Amino acid sequence: MISENINKRALALKTLTITAVVATAFVLLSKKKKRSRKIKEALAYEIW
């Protein structure tokens, strides 16, 4: 009974951690895309 609770808690923790990591990666990627677009626009402006 006690070990079942520990396993459930560990599973919930793993799920939360994975969700947090995925969310963080998604946010970082979307920020990078926006930043690279700004850099590309700046470079295009410099070239022209």
* DSSP conformational letter for 1: -
Query: In the chain, where are the structural domains located?
Result: 1-48
pTM over 0.75: no
> What is the CA angle 41-22-17, rounded to 5?
150
**Terminal CA-to-CA distance of the chain, rounded, Å?**
70
Summarize pLDDT for 1-48 with one digit per residue, the tens.
Answer: 678 888 999 999 999 999 999 989 888 888 877 777 887 788 787 766
Spatial distance between the Cα atoms of 33 and 35, rounded to a whole number of angstroms: 5
